[in-house]
Structure 1
Amino acid sequence: MSYPKLLTPEETLEEGKARLGIPDIVAICGSTRFMDAMADADRVLTWAGHIVVKPGCDMKTPHPLWADPADAEAGKERLDDLHRAKIRLATRVLVVGDYIGDSTRAEIRYAKSLGKPVSYTHPEVAATL
C-alpha cells in the first residue's frame, strides 16, 4: 500500500495561501535608514495588489519603547526573529536602498537559503554581497 506524500510545512503554507486566494506577499528588507523608501515601495507594491511586510520599528529613532538599553537589546532580538518570520511567510523579498549592512546581508542569506527570490531597488548593491 502506498501512502500519499506528506507536505512540508512550506508546501502546506503555499498550498493554503493558493487555496485562500492570498496574493503574493513581499517582504521588504533593508537598513532602517531607508524607512521612507520602504514606505514608498510598500505603497507601490500594495497598489499593484501585493501584500507587503516590512520592518515596523526604526530603533535608530529615539522612542520610549527602546529607551532602556536592556529593553532595546531584547527588543532587537525579538524584531530580528519577527522579520525572519516575515521572510518565511513571503513569496519573495525586495531589498530597499543603496547600502547593505550586516543585518540586511544576513536577511538576504536567510531568504536565499529558503529559496525565496530576492530583488533589489538598487541592483548594483547585489554585487557587494
Structure 2
Amino acid sequence: MPSLQLTTPEAKLADAKKQLSLPDIVVICGSTRFMAEMAEAELRETTARPAKIVVKPACDLKSAHELWSDPVEAEALKIRLDELHRSKIRLADEVLVVGDYIGDSTRDEIVYAKSLGKPVRYTHPEVDPDA
C-alpha cells in the first residue's frame, strides 16, 4: 500500500505551478500614491527575462471613483481589498515593494509575506526595514 503523503496547501500550489510550467508570480505592494510606479514595475517585471506574472493593487481608494464614493461602502471595500491583496501575496512566489515610503499597510504586507517565507525585494532598498 502506498504511503499517504500529507502536504500543505502551499506545497500543493507550488507543485501545481511547477507542473503547469508557470512563470514566477510577483506581487507588487506599496502605497497607492505610487500607482504610476507600480505600473512601471509591472511593465519591467513582465518584459524581463525570464518574464514574470505580475499581480498588483487595482484600486486607488484615494482617487475619486463612483465605486467608493460612499464612505461606509469605501471602508467595507478597503477591508475586502486588503483581504484580496493577502491572497495575492499567498499566490505569489515573491513580493516587490514599490516606492520610497512604507506605510502601515505595506509594512503589514511585508511582515505577512515574510511569515510565509516569501522573498521581498524593494525598488528603493533604503526603505527595507531589515536593512
TM-score between the two structures when normalised by the length of structure 1: 0.96
Deviations 1:73-127 (CA, angstroms, capped at 9, x unpaired): 0000000000000000000000000000000000000000000000100000014
**Structure 2 counterpart SS, 1:27:** strand
For this pair of structures, how many residues does the alignment match? 129
**Structure 1 counterpart SS, 2:27:** strand
Q: How far apart are 1:6 and its partner, in Å?
A: 1.2
Q: Which residue of 1 aligns with 2:79?
A: 77
**Structure 1 counterpart SS, 2:63:** coil
Runs of 4+ in 1 over 3 A off after TM superposition: none
For structure 1, the residue ranges without an aligned partner over 5 or more in a row are none
- The percentage of counterpart residues that share the same residue type is 64
Q: Which residue of 2 aligns with 1:23?
A: 23
Question: Residues of 1 paired with 2:129 and 2:82: CA distance?
Answer: 24
Q: Which residue of 2 aligns with 1:35?
A: 35
**Structure 2 counterpart SS, 1:119:** strand
Q: CA RMSD in A?
A: 1.4
Answer yes or no: is 1:111 the counterpart of 2:119: no
